[in-house]
Amino acid sequence: MTAFSSQLFELLKSYVLASSHLTHIEASDCKILSAQISDKTSHTVSETTLKRIYGFAMSKFKPSLFTIDVLSNYCGYKGWEDFCEKQDKKALKANHENIDWDSLGHQAAKITNFTLQALKNKSGVPFNQTIKRDFLDKYFEEFLNGDYAATILTAPPSYGKTIALCHWIDEKLAANITTGNNDIVLFFSSNALMNVLISGKDFNDWLLALLGYTLEEDIISLLDINKRKEGNFYLIIDGLDEHMFKNSWFQLLLDQLMDIFSFYQSYSWFKMILTMRTATWINNRHILDYEHPKWFTGSVFDQQGNNNVPPFNLHEIKDLCLKINPEMQNQITADVAASFNHPLYFQFYYKQYKDNFSLNNIDHTCIYDLISNFIFTKVYKGHHATEKTLLLKGLVENMDFKKREYDVDKLKVNSLFNQYNQAYKELLSIGFLKETNSSNDSQFNTYVQFGNGNFLELAIANKLLHDNNKLFDSNLIKTINQFFSNNDLKLPIIKWSIMHAVKNGQQDNFSLLSNLDLNLKEKSDLILFLGDLLNKAYSSQNTNAEIAGYFKQDCGDGLFYYFLGIEFISTDYRKTLQTLLKFELPNYKKILIYTGLAITAALQLDMNSLESYLAKLNGFSAEDYRKFAINPLDCLTAIYYFFKYSVIKKDFFINITRFYFNPPKQDRSITYSETNELIYLLAGYTLLICQQPRKMLRYLNALQKMQGKDQAEITGYNFFSKILTANSLFFLDKVKELKAIHDNISDLFKTRENSFTPYMKLAFYSLKIKKAILSNEYSTIPGSLKYLNQTSDKSGNKFSKIFTINLLLNNPAIVNSDPAFYKQLASNNAKILRECGLSPEIFSKQESL
């Protein structure tokens, strides 16, 4: 049988529509078309099959031989083979003066179609479910419109270069058929060059022989304008990477390629397109003469990596997901897109969930699971697994963590590669390692690097665990703190170590996490990761008796209080807190978890969830609440009544007055302090709704005297205490005092922005707006509000957003200074309140207490 050709099948589909007198097809037409095919051929192609063929239903496989035979018969051919043969004859039919160009195109098409089919079959995601890349059309448009003869696509392995190129070639060949273009595409992968080099043939001679030409005939057919049709000749080689060949062979191949480039570069119809890994490009671009004006390299998307192929963008990830499963309803967030913008990781995820593809399984541990499976399959299993492990360990031993030097000088470890040569080649081939040559005229510099940051982080974590007898304990945490202080690798290394602990039954040591030197943003990230990891462990308890026993006990204080903090509130924090409820907690800890969940719901203006958590909290006895200095249920009930009914419960504020005039004796135990800090901040935010600033300041001063905390220490409690103080100063028009707090936090933000959690950033931008109002700096407000809106969307915190917006709406100076801005604010405010089911009068002036 004739090999399946995507281009010819697309042509057949158009013939089917023409035979049915349809200019275009809708899903509803497939039923009618099925009946017409049955009437004409006496064979049935179902409505569902036609929907798959024309893209109205998901299809993971190419159509069967029976289906394409019936469709060919419907269009007047004996079958698929007859259809293909007649299309080939049409392609060969030409005037005598053009016969050489046409025969050359026919030979090239055979090779190209074979290469396309082979590469498509290797696609990790079935090729018909992959997408064309947005950037490539623009890239090739610039290349073809300029005076260039050659270009190159460079990116790390499994970055989607090959699939993107296959889509582009498919479109190019389809255009040849439908528009009568005379372009010739000769496409093959570097695998095809192996036999050429082994046989000792010249690459150019081999190409000509493959196309059925001698050197003289080729020059006549291609260079003689009288024998050549208008069109380009594309020589495309995919995967031209040095790890595929012996070093001397690869250099010989590059030299011969450059001979071809040198010979044809002056002819506008000759276009050479190569793809290779970034490391190969870096190591050999001097041979490829990349600074030659006829070479086009496009825009480099990753300056450090020298990649000109970008990762997936959000739009492409959405398209790819819908192509795989058109019925998928999940909304794709920017965070998810950032995790899956690497085509390799998307491919891992697809393979794991291809039977029921959706994004429901994506959480903060997902990438780590996928990489673990990849490493297990590609490194820890199969041939040379021991050698690969020892080689990686040796590489990490030659790094300098304190100096942050993770690229290993090959000269220093060359004995390792001599000892584990085959393992090294395999790690290069899968992209786990890469070798880059940055030598100059005075020094030889060749470094071995890990293929990406994830692989590096895992290798370092494994080395540290190996040196620590594979234990997650205080010694490991001390080592991580010592070598990776203020280092971006620190958090991922901790996560890999925690995954190791869970898989090896060491989760009881998680109470030691409080010993980690992490900023609040890193701690927030780790908490979300740990919550998802524990949730997965809980789900597997039916098959793991040790894990089942772990959850049938109280969560230790060290781990429990590590999770608590108003600064951690974000869209995902709710799920993390719910994970703690899977433990057998005492009632006071359950109250704290439900309080945290209720605070999250209140800040997100989710009244239904807030009502549900209040019902849970009402189920505890009065005795259960005696452990708390302030009753959290009273605070949350006051918030609920304010939002739901625009009513201020005066009894709560009377109780707060009693509290700060007669504060309870402070229990100096750590547990008591950590239990109440969340409640103290909750009470402070509850006080906001009465807009009694002096009452707030008296309350905060009482807390400071009672606790004696160091306000200079950067903790979530200290940060939000300052924010609450600034809110009170705002209502008292204390410009100087508020500015002092603003400047203090602003200085921190300038130097430690990456340590601020989303909720802390939101509070800071709100403070900037308050300071601008008091200082009459109205022109700065729109910019700060823009950042506030962005951070609100990220954290899910709507309360702070509408509270700040209503401060602006109730300020006459804002109305007078910029009526259009005021109108937009009012519109946005009304929309948020309407979406949350809240009264527009909720922030009107309240009765004084």
Lowest mean pLDDT among 40-44, 177-181, 294-298, 814-818: 177-181
Using the 3D structure, point to which of 39, 70, 89 is the last residue of a domain: 89
> Under a CB-based contact definition with an 8 Å cutoff, are residues 732 and 693 in contact?
yes
Looking at the structure, do residues 284 and 383 belong to the same domain, yes or no? no
Residue bearing the bigger pLDDT, 482 or 59: 482
The mean predicted confidence, pLDDT, of the chain is 84
Q: Is there a single domain that holds both residue 52 and residue 115?
A: no
Answer whether residue 618 is part of any domain: no
pLDDT at 228: 56
Of 58, 89, 120, which marks where a domain is finished? 89
Which domain range does residue 331 map to?
314-362
pLDDT for 182-207, tens place per residue? 888 999 888 777 666 666 666 777 77
Pairing outcome for strands 433-437 and 446-450 = antiparallel
pLDDT in tens, 247-284: 778 888 888 888 888 888 888 889 999 999 888 888 88
The per-residue pLDDT for range 645-664, each reduced to its tens digit, is 888 888 888 888 888 888 77
pLDDT, residue 54, reads 78
In a domain, 547, yes or no: no
165 and 211 assigned to the same domain:
yes
Closest by CA position to 186, among listed 299, 107, 301, 244: 107
DSSP SS3 for 507: helix
| Sequence-distant contacts of 11-14: CB under 8 A, at least 24 apart | 11/87, 11/174, 11/177, 11/178, 12/68, 12/71, 12/72, 12/75, 12/80, 12/83, 13/53, 13/54, 13/71, 14/178
Of 330, 362, 394, the residue that ends a domain is 362
pTM of this prediction?
Answer: 0.78
- Shared domain for 102 and 246, answered yes or no, is yes
Q: If pLDDT is split at 50, 70 and 90, which confidence band does 218 have?
A: low
Number of domains in the chain: 5
Mean pLDDT of 227-245: 81
Q: Which one is predicted more confidently, 215 or 626?
A: 626
Are 289 and 218 part of one and the same domain?
yes
Q: Measure the CA dihedral 202/205/209/215, to 10°.
A: -170
Residue 719 has a pLDDT of 92
Question: Same structural domain for residues 154 and 45?
Answer: no
Partners of 276 in beta bridges:
154
Give the Cα-Cα-Cα angle 774, 780, 786 (nearest 5 degrees): 115
What gap in Å lies between CA 597 and CA 609, rounded to an integer? 9
d(CA 370, CA 347): 9
* Residue 844: pLDDT over 70: no
Domain of 451: which CATH number? 1.10.10
pLDDT at 709: 63
**Does residue 497 surpass a pLDDT of 90?**
yes
Beta strands 270-277 and 233-238: pairing type? parallel
Integer Cα distance of 375 and 97 in angstroms? 58
With a CB cutoff of 8 Å and minimum separation 6, the contacts of 436 are: 279, 282, 283, 407, 446, 447, 449
Q: Calculate mean pLDDT across residues 61-73.
A: 86
Residue 509 in any domain: the answer is no
Q: What is the CATH number of the domain that holds 152?
A: 3.40.50.300
The H or E element spanning position 433 is strand 433-437
What angle separates helix 134-145 from helix 161-179, to the nearest 10 degrees?
60
* Secondary structure letter of residue 129 according to DSSP: G
| Residues 286, 429 within the same domain | no
The residue behind tokens 């790819």 is 320
Q: Are residues 119 and 205 located together in one domain of the fold? A: yes
Tell me: do 387 and 347 sit in the same domain.
Answer: no
In this structure, the answer to whether residues 143 and 45 fall within a common structural domain is no
50 pLDDT above the threshold of 70 = yes
CA nearest to 392, candidates 448, 348, 438 = 448
Residue 621 banded pLDDT, cuts 50, 70, 90: very high
Structural domain includes residue 491? no
The b/e string for 92-126 (b: 16+ C-beta within 10 A; e otherwise) is eebeeebebbbbbbbbbbebbbebbbebbeebbbb
Rounded-to-integer distance, Cα 213 and Cα 100, Å: 10
Task: State the DSSP string of 613-677.
Answer: HHHHHHTS-TGGGGGSSS-HHHHHHHHHHHHHHS---HHHHHHHHHHHHSPPPPP--HHHHHHHH
Looking at the predicted structure, is the pLDDT value of residue 600 above 90?
Answer: yes
Please say whether the beta carbons of 271 and 234 come within 8 A. yes
